[in-house]
Amino acid sequence: MKFIDNEIPHEPQRFQRIYIYFAACKLGFRAGCRKIVRVDGCWLKDTMFRTQLLSVVGMDGNNNIFHVAYAIVEKESKDTGLDILKLDIDAPTWLNDKDHSEWSMSHFSSDAKCDTLLNNLSEVFNGIILDARDKPIMTLLEKLRYIRMARMLANREKIAAVEYVPRKSNYWSYKILGATVTDNWAVDLQNKSCSCRKWSLTGIPCKHVIAAIWAKKDNILDYVHDCYKVETYRRIYENSIFPMNGPQLWPKTSKVPPLPPKIVVESGGKNIEVVVMTKEHGLKQLEEDEIDAIVA
Ligand SMILES: [Zn+2]
């Protein structure tokens, strides 16, 4: 994170930019992603107006996007500390200064293990973070962190599922065999249960369930609980509570106003109802001796 001096002497410094490169992403990228990245920038909105989110997105061996790093920088940023992140700011000039092997597919080294220029990867990433782009900086950063955390977790579960051998019992049920006798699990895809209970508790298929889904050649997303789906979220909030006028504009009723609720005084294990109304239909506060007289 970088700060700049306040234009007013002796006042706190101002936030300028932040660059985030999680160790897990760094290690993951170096461990086996294709040696190529797509760099892109998208403008942020509302409270983050005139700042942009620069993202570095790579690709794993399964052609899924791998989010490597990101930065939030001011519009006129000329020194992000990440020369590579300037790609979309002044692309033609920037590219002319670079060796063709850095950006032209015809000049790619065979090390990249990739036959695409990743044009869609940044678009996919920008689509994922669409609803975070108009949020204040802390909310935005938390959402970005959550997206990374959730993707890393989901893909880890998939990898863990590879270590299990599914044995089909019937059309919906599988016995999932792990490396030891204590690592065997019963999965019922129809009733959405696994004996480890993780699926029932979270609504997200565990590694045993994923192994069964793969064996059945189904889509994992079809087994995620509906509460996680965007359509469910939309339905939850699609109804509005409409504004209404103040009491002075409410229609008058000819009915007698209802009485207030009963007041119950507890005495000696017995509940005794004490309701006293005044002429104005308001409650009269009973004195202690009056309550004692009723209880006696
Ligand atoms: Zn399980």
Chain segment 171-210, per-residue pLDDT in tens: 999 999 998 889 999 999 999 999 999 999 888 899 999 9
Separation between Cα atoms, residue 238 and residue 74, nearest integer Å:
36
Query: 19 CA to middle of ligand 1, Å?
Result: 37
Query: 195 CA to middle of ligand 1, Å?
Result: 6
Q: What is the pLDDT of residue 90?
A: 47
Q: How many CA atoms lie within 13 A of 121 on its CB side?
A: 21
Signed CA dihedral, 122, 80, 18, 151: sign only: positive
Copy the structure tokens of residue 128: 């994922």
Cβ-proximal residues to 97 (8 Å cutoff; 6+ apart), any chain: none
Query: 292 CA to middle of ligand 1, Å?
Result: 63
The proportion of the chain whose per-residue pLDDT surpasses 90, expressed as a percent, equals: 15
Query: 295 CA to middle of ligand 1, Å?
Result: 61
pTM for the predicted model, two decimal places = 0.48
Question: Are 72 and 137 contacting, i.e. CB atoms less than 8 angstroms apart?
Answer: yes
Query: 199 CA to middle of ligand 1, Å?
Result: 6
In whole angstroms, how far apart are CA 108 and each of 114, 118, 187?
Answer: 9, 13, 46
Query: 216 CA to middle of ligand 1, Å?
Result: 16
Query: 171 CA to middle of ligand 1, Å?
Result: 18
Length of the chain in terms of residues written: 296
Q: What is the mean pLDDT of residues 254-282?
A: 65
Cα 171 versus chain centre, distance: 34
Judged by average pLDDT, the poorest of 11-15, 95-99, 137-141, 153-157 is 95-99
Would you list the DSSP string of 166-200?
Answer: EEE-SSSEEEEE-SSTTSEEEEETTTTEETT-HHH
Query: 196 CA to middle of ligand 1, Å?
Result: 4
b (16+ CB within 10 A) / e for 260-280: eeeeeeeeeeeeeeeeeeeee
Query: 59 CA to middle of ligand 1, Å?
Result: 29
Query: 187 CA to middle of ligand 1, Å?
Result: 7
Query: 170 CA to middle of ligand 1, Å?
Result: 18
Q: Comparing C-alpha atoms, which of 198, 217, 215, 216 is closest to residue 207?
A: 198
Q: Over 70: is that where the pLDDT of 48 sits?
A: yes
Copy the structure tokens of residue 84: 């590579």
Question: Are 231 and 237 contacting, i.e. CB atoms less than 8 angstroms apart?
Answer: no
Q: Comparing C-alpha atoms, which of 128, 198, 201 is closest to residue 210?
A: 198
Cα 276 versus chain centre, distance: 54
Query: 182 CA to middle of ligand 1, Å?
Result: 13
Query: 126 CA to middle of ligand 1, Å?
Result: 33
Question: Are 238 and 197 contacting, i.e. CB atoms less than 8 angstroms apart?
Answer: no
Query: 205 CA to middle of ligand 1, Å?
Result: 7
Query: 217 CA to middle of ligand 1, Å?
Result: 18
Question: What is the chain's mean pLDDT, rounded?
Answer: 77
Query: 155 CA to middle of ligand 1, Å?
Result: 16
Q: Over 60: is that where the pLDDT of 106 sits?
A: no
Query: 227 CA to middle of ligand 1, Å?
Result: 19
Sheet-wide strand order for 173-177: 165-168, 173-177, 184-188, 193-194
> Which residue type does 34 have?
R
Query: 44 CA to middle of ligand 1, Å?
Result: 40
Q: What is the mean pLDDT of residues 248-253?
A: 89
> Which residue type does 235 have?
R
Sheet-wide strand order for 38-43: 2-4, 14-20, 65-74, 51-59, 38-43
Question: Are 72 and 53 contacting, i.e. CB atoms less than 8 angstroms apart?
Answer: yes
Would you list the DSSP string of 142-159?
Answer: HHHHHHHHHHHHHHHHHH
If pLDDT is split at 50, 70 and 90, which confidence band does 256 have? confident
